[in-house]
Amino acid sequence: MRHTATDAEHLMWQILRVKRFMNLKFRRQYVILNINSYPLF
């Protein structure tokens, strides 16, 4: 997952934040768990 957004992604989030597309609330995705830090059995 990238730390910085592309120009297109940044523009998309600006539009979604302002317009409230179809009365839905959008949140950016984020890492919940780093799967590489746990051993596989």
* Per-residue pLDDT of the chain in tens (41 residues, 90 and over written 9): 567 888 998 888 888 777 666 777 777 777 676 666 666 66
Can you give the pTM of this predicted structure? 0.46
pLDDT given at position 37: 65
Q: Please write down the HEC assignment for all residues of the chain.
A: CCCCCCHHHHHHHHHHHHHCHHHCCCCCCCCCCCHHHCCCC
Do residues 31 and 1 make contact, with C-beta atoms less than 8 angstroms apart?
yes
